Structures are given as C-alpha cells and as structure tokens.
Structure 1
Amino acid sequence: METTRGPVDGEIEQFWNLAKRHARLETLPGYFGPDALTSVPPPAWAFGADAEQSDRLLRLVLDGTKTATASAREDYGDDEPLPEPGTLGIVLDGAGRPRALVATTAVRVVPFDEVDAEHAHAEGEGDRSLEQWRAEHEHFFSENDPLGRGFRPDMPVVLEQLRVLYQA
C-alpha cells in the first residue's frame, strides 16, 4: 500500500545521486555519456495513508522485515504501467524525505481474496495471520479509495516483492 507524498525540494536529486553510486547502477564509463537508467530519478513514494503509517512501514523495510507490498490494481491509471522486475523506486518517510532506493524483484496480480499467507508474511507487519492481513487491507482499500470504487473481495491487487538497494 503506497501513497505519493511531496518530497522536500532538492532532496530527491541529492538522494538519487548518492543512491545510484552506492547501488552501483552507474556501470558504463563516463565517456559513453549518461544512460537512461541513471539520468532520471525513479518515482518517489511513501507507504501507507499518513505520515505515521509511512514511517512505521519504512522502518520495517529498512530493517529487512518488510520485503513486499500490495496495492489496488485500480490505483494505477490506464496509461500507468504496473511495476515489473527491475523497477526502481525511492521510498519517502512520513515527512516526504527520501530514505531508501528499492527495486521490484517480482510482481503478480491476483484477486484480493486469493492473496496467500506467504505474501502476507512478506509484508512484515508482525505475526499477523492471513485473516488479519486481509482485514487490515480491506479497511485500507475501503478508506483510501479516491475514485470511490469501493472494496470488493475479487478486486485485483498488485503484489510486489521488493529489495532495498540503498538506505540513507
């Protein structure tokens, strides 16, 4: 579950310049010129619906407990591609500051009621059962639905596996 927050001016660019070096994304010698992967910062976003939730989920990512996330498929616009393996993202804290560079390692889209216990566990929010995961996510998807589509048990959910490449 993620939302976009406004990053603090200039911090994304500074973070990106540092993170891409630490993550060894700049592999071509400088005389080849800039490449698309390292020229433009990836999208910046925060987990959760508010600053407190963003900070809590970010801590789980940074300590290696949270290695997955889920989002409503309908939250992606018709012209917005789904993440795919190799997609990079800059994770913001609750104040909108960049804290981690992550890469998507796997993606699948399933109906909400087919999310499995393995994915729920990978989201890393304690010893929650699949039923607890479903209850919390049903609440989140119902409360954070800007288009007013409402929650449905068969709604498509994008399940992403993530790996931290760099953290500040």
Structure 2
Amino acid sequence: MSPMPPPIAEFWQAYVASTAGVDESRFYEAFYFADSEALADSLAALVLSGTKRATASAFWTFEAQGRRAPVPGDLSVVTNWAGVPQCVIETVAVDRVPFNQVSAEFAATEGEGDGSLTYWREAHEQFFQRECALHGRAFTEDQLLACERFKVVYRSSPLKDPS
C-alpha cells in the first residue's frame, strides 16, 4: 500500500480500529467521484445518504494508470474534491458491461440525476468523452465499463439505521 496523506491515513486507521480485525491489505484506493468540485462533492453526499450505491469506470483507465480494476472485498476511502475523507466503501460486485448495455437498474443504483437510464447515458457519455479526450482516445458506445456496486461500511459519524 502506498503512503496515504495524513487525513486519509487517520480516517483509514479509525476505520480499522472500529472493526474486528479487518485485513488492511483490502485497501484499494482513496478517491473522489467525477472530474469537477461540484460534482465530486454532490456525488459524495449521495453516497453518504445511501442514494448512490454504484459507479462506472472505463476499463481502459485501470490499465492506463497501471493498476487492477476493483474486485469484491476491496475497501476504498471516498473523499470530497478537497481530499477530506467522507466514508469507507466496500466493493460488493464488479461487472464488465459495454456502455450501451448498462441497465436501467444499474443506472438507478448509481443514484444520479433522476435515476433514469436516459439521464445516466447522457451524463456518463459526457463524462467518458471528457475522460477519453484527456488521454487521446475516442469514446465509443461499446467501450467496456467496470460497473461497480458498493456499500458504505464506515463514516466518521454513525451510520443511520434505514429502518
């Protein structure tokens, strides 16, 4: 595991201390969602509220960054744009799905916008076009995505019982 910035390391250690022997090698990454401050902060808030329980990434980005795609059991620290830790999530499933075959159910689980597949496709096509352009690639409707489902396992304030 590479060194973490102090706020993230402290948050991670608080999580580890709160669990009964979590295997620290399950740490995957610390990250924020999206590519702008407003979006990153709003998506982190959706995760904390329980609305956002999934995310999608272009598979080629993992190779370009020299790292593996997430797998079930991975633990990640979600931050806001400023790098302030918000929660720890656990990856529960990752499916390889072409962009044009993402389901309405997955779009709703991502919890963004109005939760519709139409909104998901429009917003994510714009995001993936920006991401591809930054790396000299072209977005295609059949590009493979890592459709990751996750659950919040820790936050600095107690989790609310959904019942």
The TM tier, using the shorter chain, reads 0.7 to 0.9
Following the alignment from structure 1 to structure 2, what is the Cα–Cα distance between the partners of residues 25 and 49?
A: 35
Q: What TM-score comes out, normalization by structure 1 length?
A: 0.83
Following the alignment from structure 2 to structure 1, what is the Cα–Cα distance between the partners of residues 27 and 94?
A: 21
Q: Structure 1 112/10 Cα, relative in aligned 2: closer, same or farther at 3 Å?
A: same
Does residue 1 of structure 2 align to residue 13 of structure 1? no
Does residue 21 of structure 2 align to residue 26 of structure 1? yes
Matches within 5 A, 1:7-156: 9-22=5-18, 24-26=19-21, 37-38=23-24, 42-77=28-63, 79-145=66-132, 146-156=134-144
Is residue 113–residue 120 contact of structure 2 (8 Å, CA) maintained in 1?
A: no
Cα offset, 1:40, TM superposition: 8.2
Following the alignment from structure 1 to structure 2, what is the Cα–Cα distance between the partners of residues 118 and 40?
A: 28
Deviates more, 1:127-136 or 1:92-101: 127-136
Gaps of 5+ in 2: 157-163
Following the alignment from structure 2 to structure 1, what is the Cα–Cα distance between the partners of residues 58 and 26?
A: 26
Following the alignment from structure 1 to structure 2, what is the Cα–Cα distance between the partners of residues 25 and 159?
A: 29
Q: What TM-score comes out, normalization by structure 2 length?
A: 0.86
Which protein has the bigger helix share? Answer: 2
Following the alignment from structure 1 to structure 2, what is the Cα–Cα distance between the partners of residues 53 and 103?
A: 21
Following the alignment from structure 1 to structure 2, what is the Cα–Cα distance between the partners of residues 42 and 153?
A: 28
Gaps of 5+ in 1: 1-6, 28-36
Q: Deviations along 1:105-150, whole A, 9 cap, x unmatched?
A: 0010111000000000001124232122101100000012231211
Counting matched residue pairs gives 151
The percentage of counterpart residues that share the same residue type is 38
Following the alignment from structure 2 to structure 1, what is the Cα–Cα distance between the partners of residues 129 and 56?
A: 14
Paired position in structure 2 for 1:159: 147
Following the alignment from structure 2 to structure 1, what is the Cα–Cα distance between the partners of residues 110 and 135?
A: 25
Cα offset, 1:48, TM superposition: 0.7
Q: Deviations along 1:72-127, whole A, 9 cap, x unmatched?
A: 11111164211111011111111111111100000101110000000000011242
Is residue 103–residue 117 contact of structure 2 (8 Å, CA) maintained in 1?
A: yes
Is residue 12–residue 41 contact of structure 1 (8 Å, CA) maintained in 2?
A: no
Is residue 77–residue 85 contact of structure 2 (8 Å, CA) maintained in 1?
A: yes
